[in-house]
Chains A and B, each alone.
Chain A
Amino acid sequence: MRRLLTVTLTGMAAAPLAGTAMAADLSVKVELPQLAVAEYHRPYVAMWIEHTDQTPVSTLAVWYDGKKPNAEGTKWLKDLRQWWRKAGRDLTVPADGITGATKVPGEQALTFTDGKAPLGKLSAGDYQLVVETAREAGGHELVRVPFTWPPKAPATASAKGEHELGSVTVNLKP
């Protein structure tokens, strides 16, 4: 599961420098595959940024079942085991701008802006975007997409899961 999957980076031809006041954008597209299983539960998903040595930087999104009575859904947050160890157990849920409901299979798109929560101000350097998923009565998978911040030109990087995750694409805009 830790395996780094094929990563494609496509930098665009040097664009004229944008005004320095412009905040960079990081967009993520996550594909949750349609699974033909007898008992399907929507996956719990955590998305975060970490340094290349895997120390956590910031949690971007957590999708879990927050609607169950008595916050029963939180019982399964530990199954997002890497995120749980790195950041989850320090986070109080629900968390504004981070936690949300579980999603149906298909493509989900999110955009984060430099300097704004939950991305915050990322210092220049190499990072990885991590998407971890765990499904009740199902599997667990984790995909990492390396990227460099801040982007000098628009760039795309992606990786693909094998079971519980489809493509995870990171789009960077200066």
Chain B
Amino acid sequence: MKLAMKKLLPASFLAIAALLPLEAQAHRQWLLPSATVLSGSDTWVTVDAAVSNDLFYFEDFPLRLDGLQVTAPDGSQVKPENTGTGKHRSVFDLNLTQEGTYKIAVVSDGLFANYKLNGANKRWRGDAQTFAKEVPADAQDLKVTQTQNRVESFVTRGKPGTAALKPTGQGLELAPVTHPNDLLAETAASFRLLLDGKPASNVKVSILPGGKRYRDQTGEFNVTTDADGKFSVKWPAAGMYWLGAEITDAKASLKPATERRASYIATFEVMPQ
């Protein structure tokens, strides 16, 4: 996995994101495909990637694409085209040459450190390789957290498939029960939240509809995963939705982290009946 955590986001965002739990964090990361259900043969989608307060508006920071992984219906990796990062968003195009479902993911796995140096509070973010070089050996009150983040969306050309949806078994992930490109307004969809490939039970999942600019309320609602990691979402109306969950535990796999924070984010398109 490519690690470029330092470049992932502007420092001002990092400071906010690193300190706040997901639900308190107004800045949300997201991927927004131009369409998720497609027909035809010469099929393309364009995807926006950004970090913003409201959904889905380009108003703050672009989401960096260093950790972009696009999985084709046959499991192979797809190269994004026309990739670019602007002031408020990143963008890329995908040529859907195969029939079936593609998984688009921006994945990162790095370290975050809090410490004191000569009485001053310091923060650091980077990968395991640069930790020793950049964090002074005489740092005091050092607390190192591993951060595993996964931001996803799904698009289907023709008949939906499931091969690309296979979880990797690392961090927080979603295993669909209902196909993510088969979501309908006023209809319930089921998913399973997994942590390192095993059911993530009793985790709060936040769901927010897009289009906040034209409403007074955020429209956010929450569900909690059951013992089997399962949860169900009844979509109130058609539109684009943001879904997010986060856990903290002591199962850090990158040294010298003692704590791990794993987050999962996905964008879903819910179609009218």
Chain A residues close to B by CB (< 8 Å): 1-2, 70-72, 74-78, 81-82, 84-85, 88-90
Contact = CB atoms under 8 A, between A and B. Distances in A.
Nearest to A80: B39
B42 interface: yes
A43 B15 CA distance: 53
Given A75-B40, A78-B38, 20 more contacts: A1-B272, A70-B41, A71-B40, A71-B41, A72-B42, A74-B40, A74-B41, A75-B38, A75-B39, A75-B43, A77-B40, A78-B40, A81-B271, A84-B37, A84-B39, A85-B271, A88-B39, A89-B39, A89-B158, A90-B159
A148 B91 CA distance: 52
Contacts of A1: 272-273
**Top 9 A-B pairs ranked by shortest CB distance?**
A75-B40, A78-B39, A74-B40, A77-B39, A89-B159, A89-B158, A71-B41, A78-B37, A74-B39
Contact of B42 (A70, A82, A88): A70
A76 B39 CA distance: 7
Contacts of B228: none
**Residue picked from B38, B39, B160, B273, most chain A C-beta under 10 Å:** B39
Contacts of B38: 75, 78
A2 B273 contact: yes
17 contacts: A1-B273, A2-B273, A70-B42, A71-B41, A75-B38, A75-B42, A75-B43, A76-B39, A77-B40, A78-B37, A78-B40, A81-B271, A82-B273, A85-B271, A88-B39, A89-B39, A89-B160
B73 to A, nearest CB: 13
B182 interface: yes
Contacts of A82: 273
Nearest to A74: B40
Determine chain B's interface SS by DSSP, over half rule.
loop
Contact of A72 (B37, B40, B159, B272): B40
Contacts of A88: 39
A83 to B, nearest CB: 11
B79 to A, nearest CB: 22
B182 A85 contact: yes
B156 to A, nearest CB: 8
Contacts of B41: 70-71, 74
Interface of B: 37-43, 158-160, 182, 271-273
A89 B43 CA distance: 14
A1 B271 CA distance: 13
Nearest to B37: A78
Contacts of A90: 159
B178 to A, nearest CB: 13
Contacts of B271: 81, 85
Nearest to A70: B42
Contacts of A89: 39, 158-160
Nearest to B159: A89
Contacts of A84: 37, 39
A88 B39 CA distance: 9
Nearest to A75: B40
A72 B38 CA distance: 12
B259 to A, nearest CB: 44
- Most B CB contacts (10 A, CB to CB) among A1, A76, A84 go to A84
A76 B43 CA distance: 11
A78 B182 CA distance: 13
Contacts of A77: 39-40
A23 B39 CA distance: 36
A77 B37 CA distance: 11
A81 B39 contact: no
A54 to B, nearest CB: 9
A81 B272 contact: yes
Contacts of B272: 1, 81
A81 B269 CA distance: 13
A75 B159 CA distance: 14
Contacts of B158: 89
